[in-house]
Amino acid sequence: MYQKDFIPIVLKVKFKSEEPIAIEKWKQLIGDLFLGYAQRITEKGDCFIGHIKALADISEFSYIKFSCINALAGVNSEFHGELQSNCKINMVINSLVTNMSNHESRKLLNQSWLLTINQEENIKMQIEDETPDTLEEHHHHHENEPCPICENKHHIH
Amino acid sequence: MFKNEGEIKKGRPEIILFTGFLGSGKTTMLIKTIEMLAEKKRKCAIIINEIGDVGIDNRQMRKLGYDVLDLFGGCVCCTLKVTLEATINHLLEDCEDLDYILFEPSGMADPSAMYPAITNCGYDVNEIHNIFIFDPLRVDLYVNSLNKLFNDSLNLAGMVVINKIDHAAPGMVKDAMKMVKDTRPGIKSFQMNVNDGLTPEFNQALIRERRQ
Ligand SMILES: Nc1nc2c(ncn2[C@@H]2O[C@H](COP(=O)(O)OP(=O)(O)OP(=O)(O)O)[C@@H](O)[C@H]2O)c(=O)[nH]1
Ligand SMILES: [Mg+2]
């Protein structure tokens, strides 16, 4: 295995609840989701976790950061900011795992959610559709220009 | 295209590199280091290179109130060489009173790959403070699969921090320490739970390492 074998995947996730939920509960819920996701990746056998991390947006200056490098070691989560209750949370997951496609990541995350969530609780999770790769985000050149740095060799997924 | 500062400028900012594999704890260490330097009224610039179309570390830093220069992209090899050099040159030209540049390369990066970009900006290899963050939970991975990365990282480092000592089993920490001693006997090493803050010994060593 080489460092370069880890495939970067970004998933944008939205959580929505009918009732406001305390941060501690979001932290536990998303932490469980994360652990289930990491466990499913590990169970596949041919995947190795480099780092799965996520930032859940609580407010402009508040966040919960989740991190997992190994399902057996569990999930680290840390909250920063002011304690509050929220109905909606946006989260970005950045996953670096070997042999794992975007499609499969979504599938495993959705599976993990079904087991995490108690059906009586009115909380929904939605993973945003795959967005096409925006070159600007990579190297700050315009979308219709070839990348002056890597001549677009690195934008293939 | 990019200005090459051939000669060494006096009083230019120190460069601190935080190296270590994916998830080792580089961002955590960087944040604690800024907090420590900010207490001493030192002015820092932060450069982060993250893999993936959307960064997590840069968002975290911004929420904490820090400005971050992102080196974006899925291509460590190329962005690090050209964009890093341009970014450092930009800082050297436009931020005169800067004391430190703190740089977190991606955990996938080959640490030696970014040295030319820094030396092209007029720095000497010996002036680069390279802190290797060694997560003891990765001992097996380094031994079995990423041995070259481990050796290269440790050989370039000025000091090594074995972190997560609160989380890893004592045996893992011991194994990590042994690997360090066997590969680089004599390197300055520290063991800590970084979430609890940097140890005074580490802070002293980092400040003492400062170029005269
Ligand atoms: N228990 C414990 N956790 C730590 C320590 N240092 C870092 N962590 C945790 O490890 C996780 C990953 O840390 P990061 O700082 O994001 O790691 P990184 O090396 O920047 O990760 P990448 O940028 O993705 O390669 C976070 O949840 C940290 O809180 C430590 O000393 N003890
Ligand atoms: Mg980081």
**B40-73 pLDDT, tens per residue?**
999 999 999 988 778 999 999 999 999 999 887 6
How many angstroms separate the alpha carbon of residue B25 from the centre of ligand 2? 7
**So what's the pLDDT on residue B209?**
65
Range from A117-131, B1-15, B22-36, B86-100 that averages highest in pLDDT: B22-36
Answer with the residue of higher pLDDT: B208 or B15: B15
- Evaluate whether residue B90 is within a structural domain: yes
Q: A75: how many CB neighbours lie within 10 A of its CB?
A: 22
Residues in chain A, pLDDT under 70: 119-120, 131-157
**3-class secondary structure, A137:** helix
The answer to whether residue B3 sits within a structural domain is no
Cα separation, B46 vs A44, in Å, equals 38
Instruction: Please state the pTM of the whole predicted model.
Output: 0.89
Per-state percent for chain B, helix, strand, coil, to nearest 5: 45, 15, 35
Q: How far is A119 from chain B (nearest CA, A)?
A: 30
Q: What are phi and psi of A9, to 5 degrees?
A: -130, 135
Task: Return the minimum-mean-pLDDT range out of B12-26, B98-112, B134-148, B177-191.
Answer: B98-112
B109-120, pLDDT tens digit by residue? Answer: 888 888 999 999
Task: Tell me, yes or no, whether B7 lies in a domain.
Answer: no
What length does chain A have? 157
Please report which confidence band the pLDDT of residue B210 belongs to, taking 50, 70 and 90 as the band edges. low
Strand partners, A13: A91, A127
Q: Is the pLDDT of residue B81 over 80?
A: no
Distance from CA of A114 to the nearest CA of B (A): 25
Number of domains in chain B: 1
Closest-CA residue of B relative to A52 is: B23
- Residue pLDDT, tens place only, A112-155: 999 998 766 789 999 998 755 443 333 334 445 554 444 444 43
Q: Is residue B132 part of a domain?
A: yes
Instruction: Give yes or no for A69 touching B (CB within 8 A).
Output: yes
For chain B, say whether A27 makes contact (Cβ under 8 Å).
Answer: no
Extract the runs of DSSP E, i.e. beta strands, from B93-142.
Answer: 100-104, 128-134
Ligand 1 center–CA A89 separation, angstroms: 23
SS3 content of chain A, % helix, strand, coil (to 5): 30, 40, 30
Q: Does B63 sit within 8 Å of A63, measured CB to CB?
A: yes
For residue B197, give the CATH number of its domain: 3.40.50.300
Does the C-beta of A76 come closer than 6 Å to ligand 1?
yes
Q: What is the pLDDT of residue B8?
A: 37
Could you give the percent of chain B with pLDDT greater than 70?
Answer: 90
Smallest Cα–Cα separation from A89: which of A121, A120, A52, A126? A126
Q: Does domain A7-132 have CATH number 3.10.50.40?
A: no
Please tell me the distance in Å from B39's CA to the nearest CA on chain A: 20
**What's the Cα-to-Cα distance from B206 to each of A21, B71, B98, B201, rounded to whole Å?**
43, 25, 17, 9
Locate the domains of chain A by residue range.
7-132
Mean pLDDT score of chain B: 89
Return the number of other C-beta atoms located less than 10 Å from residue A22's C-beta: 12
> Which DSSP letter does residue B204 get?
H
Q: According to the model, what pLDDT value does residue B96 have?
A: 83
Q: Quote the domain boundaries for residue B143.
A: 14-208
Cβ under 8 Å to A: B residues 93-152: 107-110, 135, 137-138, 145-146, 149
Whole-number CA gyration radius for chain A: 17
Tell me what pLDDT residue B73 has: 64
pLDDT at residue number B78 = 55
Query: Closest Cα partner for B178 from B191, B166, B167?
Result: B191
Q: Stretch B159-163: mean pLDDT, rounded?
A: 98
State whether residue A146 sits within 8 Å of chain B by CB: no
**pLDDT-derived band at B79, boundaries 50, 70, 90:** low
